[in-house]
Homo-oligomer: A and B are copies of this chain.
Amino acid sequence: MVTARSSSPRRLAPRRDLTPLFEPASVAVVGASDDPVKWGNWLARRALRGASRRSVYLVNHRGGEVMGRRAHRALSDLPETPDLAVLAVPPAALERAMDEAIAAGTRAVVVITAGSADGDAGGAREIALADRAREAGVILLGPNCLGIFDAAAELELVPNDLPRGSIGLLSQSGNLALEIGALAEAAGLGFSRFVSLGNQADLEAAELIQDLAEHDGTELIAIYLEDFRDGRAFARAAEIAIRAGKPIVLLAVEHSEAAARAVRSHTGALASDGPAINAACDAAGMHRVLAPQELVDLAQGLLGAGPPRGRRLAVLTDGGGHGGVAAALSRAAGLELPALSAELRQRLRAGLPPTAAVANPIDLAGGGESDVHSYDRTAGATLESGEVDAVLMSGYFGGYTDYAEALSRGEAAAAEALADAVERSGRPLVVQTMHPNGAAAQSLRRRGVPVYGTIERAVGVLAGLADRAGRDPRGVPALPSPAEPIAAASYMDARELLAAGGVPFEPARVVSTAATAVAAAAELGYPVVMKALGTLHKSDTGGVVLGLREERAVEAAFARLRGRVAPPAVVVERMAPLGDSVELIAGVRWDARFGPVALVGLGGVFTELLRDTAVALAPVDEPTARELLVSLRSAPLLLGARGRPPADLDAAASAVAALSRVAAAHPEIAELEVNPLLALPDGAVGLDARVLLRGEARQT
């Protein structure tokens, strides 16, 4: 499924009323069991917790009793039509159970059972199941899912207990969802809703994001996803939710040889490339994380610290060791620790021991121990100064009870005073303490101040917040109407396609004899370059001869190419000016889920060494292309580092944007690349071009 090609990109998935799923008036658990190692037992036990809110029916084909209640033999035996049926039946019985649910008139079905014995997600059996549901107007969740949870509705159709809170969690992995739940609970957080996505045969993440965006009880959306399905629809739904004030934290495993081995065998999903996922995150404004703890930590930060403002940080500790560690980690994470102003330093110094440091990091130097309110006075003054975007407190706070009652007396008050200072200043405080489960830490969390047990995690959250500071979502671009597909994919085909789309190249002539080569050179003007066609990495195989300045050189080069690589044809091109240029790479790769993704980076031999690239969903316009170029680590080369003239960024951006438009209009293209794209002081010019059609093997 490459939905970005087969469906209109502007269209969001059709909205359906998901009330029968989240707030059903009645529920039936099909496969309910007394056997404590069966899913039907775990689900039924928790379904019954909502019995005061709705009718809960247990269904078991053997009849009799389950959990001391009557077990109905079939859905058709129930005294009423259940809004929602949960199917936890053996795989062989799945279709029959589904038919019964439809026949009984249920409005939503949650399928716990794996859709097929071999775990082949997206297989014929699942498609048939989803088709049956859609024809009947029934919402289908799963198959191969863990269930569904709604805190406000007291709906617990899941095998485990989950904490309640304000996070809406969508997850394609049951066990990862349980881990996220355990970590959230430890952080004082929990779920407003949890949807185990399973194989998304019918209900997909995008539709659920739309729903969560409007769900009052949900303040933040957390997602673990392996298959993005219609990736553009997913990103667009995410963008809408984020613009509506609900941050999204996405845990996504990207395609790699090993990750693909894991994920493919799990749900049969087609994992997306890392660049495609990153491009979608920038487009929608999602925060991307790589592990469950990181997800929960960032969620705590986003819920507590609010929208991030910038990278300027003050570190506050009682002890130079904690200050040094926090400062070093913060800098390594790209945060800035500006020296505080003389005025603020003077203000901070009042009431601190003479050995205290107030320049940033701020070290109370035992001041916290002798007067615990040193913490809130210092943090408050620093937050209110506006000289930093956030304060990071690290170390001992929260543990003064260890020493003596006298010392702990003020700690609870100090915690409240810290939270007050945050509210007054409107700027975030993030706390790391070696006593993360102490009373003071819990008070802070209750007041919305994020508290972490290790400095790595606190710094990680601050860096994560700062990464999106002041950056609006880039927006999910619409795809152009497909152009007439190209059939051939030679160097000259790529060059012509790109040139027609507005990517500049030097003029060129295909030649087949030494004489026509000389004539072409004369026509184009010396110096010229000669390239052997038909080899991919021409420069690696000696298929390119540069700097031919006169007729005899052209003849000699032609003979050498013939002898060395025996190409089907040779092209003569006017040689571009190389001095003071920067070699870039610009390309687009079509991701199976997210469609065309544009990439720019430093080109030539440094492409693989530096891996300095920036990506965006294609097509990109000129301002976005420029933004990508300037975001490169090697941007100083373009901006005129060390006495070099600056490159013509407008021209380079224009070439990148043109390339991205061409590629986005050609769904038959798997990859389109200009490498190098030469950024000159006045202009830009492509020196090589490569196109790979879908289904063609990539040569490396």
Residues of A in contact with B (beta carbons under 8 Å apart):
36-37, 41-42, 114, 117-119, 159-160, 171-176, 178-179, 182-183, 224, 226, 251, 253-254, 256-259, 261-263, 265-267, 271, 290-294, 315, 317-325, 327-332, 337, 339, 354-357, 359-361, 363, 365, 395-396, 402-407, 434-435, 453-456, 537, 539-542, 605-606, 608-610, 612, 633-634, 636-637, 641-644
Q: Which of B119, B539, B610 contacts A610 (CB 8 A)?
A: B610
- Docked-complex contact B643 and A224, CB < 8 angstroms: no
Q: Which of B117, B173, B323 contacts A354 (CB 8 A)?
A: B117
Q: Which of B159, B265, B355, B363 contacts A365 (CB 8 A)?
A: B265
- Docked-complex contact A266 and B357, CB < 8 angstroms: yes
- Docked-complex contact B363 and A320, CB < 8 angstroms: no
Q: What's the least CB distance linking A181 to chain B, in Å?
A: 9
- Docked-complex contact B455 and A292, CB < 8 angstroms: yes
Q: What's the least CB distance linking A418 to chain B, in Å?
A: 18
Q: What's the least CB distance linking A320 to chain B, in Å?
A: 2
Q: What's the least CB distance linking A636 to chain B, in Å?
A: 7
Q: What's the least CB distance linking A179 to chain B, in Å?
A: 4
- Docked-complex contact A355 and B118, CB < 8 angstroms: yes
Q: What's the least CB distance linking A297 to chain B, in Å?
A: 10
Most buried by B among A42, A271, A456: A456
Q: Which of B271, B327, B454 contacts A256 (CB 8 A)?
A: B327
- Docked-complex contact B354 and A262, CB < 8 angstroms: no
Q: Which residues of the other chain, B, contact A634 by a CB distance below 8 angstroms? A: 609
Q: What's the least CB distance linking A95 to chain B, in Å?
A: 19
Q: Which residues of the other chain, B, contact A610 by a CB distance below 8 angstroms? A: 609-610
Q: Which residues of the other chain, B, contact A434 by a CB distance below 8 angstroms? A: 175, 178-179, 182-183, 292
CB contact under 8 A between A258 and B119, given known A321-B173, A455-B292, A540-B643: no
- Docked-complex contact B226 and A321, CB < 8 angstroms: yes
CB contact under 8 A between A325 and B291, given known A114-B355, A119-B355, A331-B256: yes
Bound-state Cα–Cα, A327 to B179, Å: 17
Known: A176-B321, A293-B455. 16 other contacts (CB 8 A): A36-B406, A37-B407, A172-B321, A175-B319, A175-B434, A224-B321, A253-B325, A262-B317, A271-B324, A290-B332, A292-B325, A537-B642, A540-B643, A605-B637, A605-B644, A608-B636
Q: Which of B257, B320, B331, B407 contacts A265 (CB 8 A)?
A: B320
Q: Which residues of the other chain, B, contact A644 by a CB distance below 8 angstroms? A: 605
- Docked-complex contact B355 and A265, CB < 8 angstroms: yes
Q: Which residues of the other chain, B, contact A641 by a CB distance below 8 angstroms? A: 605, 608-609
Q: Which residues of the other chain, B, contact A329 by a CB distance below 8 angstroms? A: 290-291
Bound-state Cα–Cα, A257 to B361, Å: 10
Q: Which residues of the other chain, B, contact A271 by a CB distance below 8 angstroms? A: 324
Q: Which residues of the other chain, B, contact A455 by a CB distance below 8 angstroms? A: 291-293
- Docked-complex contact A290 and B325, CB < 8 angstroms: yes
Across the interface, name the chain B residue whose C-beta is closest to A171.
B321
Bound-state Cα–Cα, A637 to B604, Å: 12
Q: Which residues of the other chain, B, contact A176 by a CB distance below 8 angstroms? A: 319, 321-322, 325
Q: Which of B41, B328, B403 contacts A259 (CB 8 A)?
A: B328
